Amino acid sequence: MVQRQLPKVNELLELMRFKKPELDARKRRLDAALTIADLRTIAKRRTPKAAFDYTDGAAEGEFSLGRARRAFEDVEFHPDILRPAADVDTSCEILGAPSALPFGIAPTGFTRLMQTEGETAGASAAAAAGIPFTLSTLGTTSIEDVKAANPVGRNWFQLYVMRQREISYGLVERAARAGFDTLMFTVDTPIAGARLRDKRNGFSIPPQLTVGTIVNAIPRPWWWIDFLTTPKLEFASLSTTGGTVGELLNAAMDPTIGYDDLDIIRGMWPGKIVVKGVQNVQDAARLVDLGVDGIVLSNHGGRQLDRAPIPFHLLPKVVREVGKDATVMVDTGIMNGADIVASVALGATFTLIGRAYLYGLMAGGRQGVDRTIAILRSEIERTMTLLGVSSLAELEPRHVTQLTRLVPVGGQGQDARV
């Protein structure tokens, strides 16, 4: 028999815990996002389809990106037990200076298209979090304005060596003058990848108004108000070089770049130099032998060659070849702090986030980028604590097994079976 009683008011009152309503709509929206995927959902709701798809999409069948994300999902962690790790230290040293977290913001072109605060939001959020920010050659905020947004923290500059070499050399000089500490030379864009979503959406840079874009704009008035009432969207660091946006974009992709260009740029650049877009063990070894300061294993977030090697799978092979002392970074597919912890365990010195940053930006400007960093930080700290490690240096390959859904069965692909 269940014993019953009259409800007691004081017991009822104990259960009532009404929270003060959050009046700041942006904060309310962002606080409700618990994962990067939640930020992506908000971003999709708030951003015109063509701009969202430009960010979210990848090349051809988008297999590279899907596989890279799956590779991170397929991580199995191996925790140690009864190893006190009350205070977790997530800081590391990267390219001669500290970073509070083992990731930085990757270079992304046309960032103010996603949300008008663009690179300023990224650079100032990175400054507040104590992590590096990378400005793209095709950025929509100039080198000098990024420096103003992040005057004390670390700024890196991503270089496309353009058909007209002098344009790129001019950018290298400006970035050096502005005190950027690292130059990231991207080498995986001999031509533009085929972004089919962009073609289907009739997407163009700069954006053009069509019946479709106008209809799509109706539920997203704030993006359009921002777009129409803030400075013109352009490749800000290139605005003085002449040429339309389309011509500049075209000039940024050059199939003739080679090791000679790397030599020339190294001669011009006073700081650290990193090559981004490395996709096999031999190239990694060659670059490290040549004495570059770091390499980024990346397939450009799946936006260039589709069915490219999965950078996270390449990582242990490259680290085995070039040794633990070389600076090996990895990107493509990072959606969770656990992805970053797994990368560090397998020997990555550092990681970069592209879309995770842009989803936050689209979801809520600067505060949205802060939210991205906060989510990743708490996931990193939680994963480390659950693994029983208190510093990044304690992470080792034995903490991770890479489960494979995709097992190579043949072909001549050089690294697949190393």
Ligand X SMILES: Cc1cc2nc3c(=O)[nH]c(=O)nc-3n(C[C@H](O)[C@H](O)[C@H](O)COP(=O)(O)O)c2cc1C
Q: Is 186 annotated as a binding residue?
A: yes
Cβ partners under 8 Å of residue 354, min gap 6 = 106, 108, 301, 331, 332
Q: Are 395 and 387 in contact (CB under 8 A)?
A: yes
Under the binding rule (CB under 6 A), the answer on residue 104 touching ligand X is no
CA-to-CA dists, residue 245 to 134, 163, 206, 225, angstroms: 21, 15, 7, 22
Residue of the chain from 195, 272, 355, 366 that contacts ligand X (CB under 6 A): 355
**DSSP tag of 89:** B
Closest to ligand X by CB, 380 or 389: 380
CB burial class (10 A; 0-12, 13-18, 19+) of residue 200?
exposed
Under the binding rule (CB under 6 A), the answer on residue 306 touching ligand X is no
Q: How far apart, in whole angstroms, are the C-alpha atoms of residue 43 and residue 56? A: 10
Q: How far apart, in whole angstroms, are the C-alpha atoms of residue 401 and residue 76? A: 5
Q: Is 309 annotated as a binding residue?
A: no
Under the binding rule (CB under 6 A), the answer on residue 301 touching ligand X is yes
Q: Is 351 annotated as a binding residue?
A: no
Q: How far apart, in whole angstroms, are the C-alpha atoms of residue 33 and residue 215? A: 28
For ligand X, the binding residues in 220-239 under the rule CB under 6 A are none
Under the binding rule (CB under 6 A), the answer on residue 339 touching ligand X is no
CB burial class (10 A; 0-12, 13-18, 19+) of residue 38?
middle
Per DSSP, the three-state class of 68 is helix
For ligand X, the binding residues in 131-160 under the rule CB under 6 A are 136, 138, 158
Q: Contact region for ligand X (CB under 6 A) — 102-110, 237-245, 258-266, 386-394?
A: 102-110
Q: Is 300 annotated as a binding residue?
A: yes
For ligand X, the binding residues in 41-60 under the rule CB under 6 A are 55
Q: Are 78 and 398 in contact (CB under 8 A)?
A: yes
Active site residues: 300
Under the binding rule (CB under 6 A), the answer on residue 300 touching ligand X is yes
Under the binding rule (CB under 6 A), the answer on residue 331 touching ligand X is yes
Smallest gap from Cβ 334 to ligand X, in A, equals 5
Smallest gap from Cβ 353 to ligand X, in A, equals 5
Q: Contact region for ligand X (CB under 6 A) — 90-98, 223-231, 261-269, 350-358?
A: 350-358
Under the binding rule (CB under 6 A), the answer on residue 279 touching ligand X is no
Under the binding rule (CB under 6 A), the answer on residue 90 touching ligand X is no
Cβ partners under 8 Å of residue 11, min gap 6 = none
Residue of the chain from 112, 154, 272, 276 that contacts ligand X (CB under 6 A): 276
Q: Are 120 and 144 in contact (CB under 8 A)?
A: no
Q: Which residues are annotated as a binding site?
A: 54, 107-109, 136, 158, 160, 186, 195, 276, 298, 300, 303, 354-355
**Interaction site with ligand X (CB under 6 A):** 55, 106-109, 136, 138, 158, 186, 276, 298, 300-301, 303, 331-334, 353-356
